Structure 1
Amino acid sequence: MSDPAAEPIALYDAAGHQIGTLARGEVYARSLWHGSAGVLLRSVDGTRVHVHRRADTKLVMPGVHDCVAGGVVDPGETPAQTAARELAEELGVRGVELTPVLSRAWESGPGPGLGGPQGLRCHLFAFEARWDGPVVTQASEVAESWWMPVDELRARLADPAWPFAPDSRILAEWWLARL
């Protein structure tokens, strides 16, 4: 298995434009702008959201809960291509329509599992998909996963003791406020 910190990722400027390529570990250590795209997977009837716990071996935010299958934008990829790739890799879901729902800049600030001393600086590109088929997770990305009723996700996000990926929280809270 390759070293994830050595993998090249797309480097962004503060305005959200791809400007080059750099190793993931260096981007994180220096708190440089990069892009991340992900998919909130809902049941076809919209009553459930797919939730997972991130693998404990992830470079950032290991072991926390998440409701977005996603990852960093690779060199030469568009955010939509990244979202489709990540959905297929992490949850085994392919061939679904991806609807863009949110795009915004995000800075985490410092903290454990959040990159370098200044934290992470990322342009988030979020999509939604509907799916009732099988979900087949990738062990290196996902420790466990399940479908959660929308109301339960809302209640869990309101509990500060429930460890949840802060970048995905932005999408989830934005999305839940519009239901």
Structure 2
Amino acid sequence: MRERGLIGRGTYILLFNSLGELCVHRRTLSKAIYPGYWDVAAGGMVQADESYAASAARELEEELGVSGVPLQAHEHFFFDQPGNRLWCAVFSAVWDGPLKLQPEEVLEARFMPIAEVLQEAEHNPWCPDSLAALKRYLKQIENEQ
């Protein structure tokens, strides 16, 4: 899909702990896009017969081993970068349990304060699409207060 310049659908799940820290993870070096980059969201491509919500639940369980948590839906947006054009849906969840990382996709994961994540993203390779999702989420939360 990316090779042909087609537009896909993707989900971004921001996973927080009860302290408000965000789960970040490092992508494997075998990933087709952004290999080895840090990522602020679990997620992936929505399958043809799948809703955004079903995709979000599936991806969260596949990548981080988190299931059965309520997913809060946030906004949809369009992300457009050469080789990565997506209609995106943002979700969030809270989880204090253990993570079970999918070794094919995730090298390591940890929870970090959001301010530290944003500071790190200025100096190190982080996935731009999920950073866009996080920034839109933060703006939405700020506007709701």
Which is greater in Rg? 1
The answer for the alignment partner of 2:79 in structure 1 is: 106
CA apart distance, 1:129: 0.3
CA apart distance, 1:45: 3.4
1:85 to 50, 54, 58: 58
Q: Note if 1:148 corresponds to 2:112.
A: yes
TM-score, normalising length: structure 2: 0.92
Q: Which stretch has the larger CA shift, 166-175 or 76-85?
A: 166-175
**Letter of the structure 1 residue corresponding to residue 86 of structure 2:** C
The answer for the alignment partner of 1:64 in structure 2 is: 37
2:92 to 109, 128, 132: 128
Structure 1 segments of 4 or more deviating over 6 A?
Answer: none
Q: Which 5+ residue runs of structure 1 have no aligned equivalent? A: 1-26, 110-118
What is the aligned residue count? 141
CA distance in 2, matches of 1:56, 1:72: 18
2:46 to 66, 73, 92: 73
The answer for the alignment partner of 2:131 in structure 1 is: 169
User: Alpha-carbon deviations, 1:79-133, whole Å to 9, x = none?
Assistant: 1000000000000000000001121111112xxxxxxxxx221111110000101
The answer for the alignment partner of 2:14 in structure 1 is: 40
Higher relative contact order (CA 8 A, sep 6+): 2
CA distance in 1, matches of 2:113, 2:54: 28
CA distance in 1, matches of 2:75, 2:27: 22
CA distance in 2, matches of 1:45, 1:145: 16
Once superposed, what is the RMSD of the aligned Cα atoms?
1.2
TM-score, normalising length: structure 1: 0.75
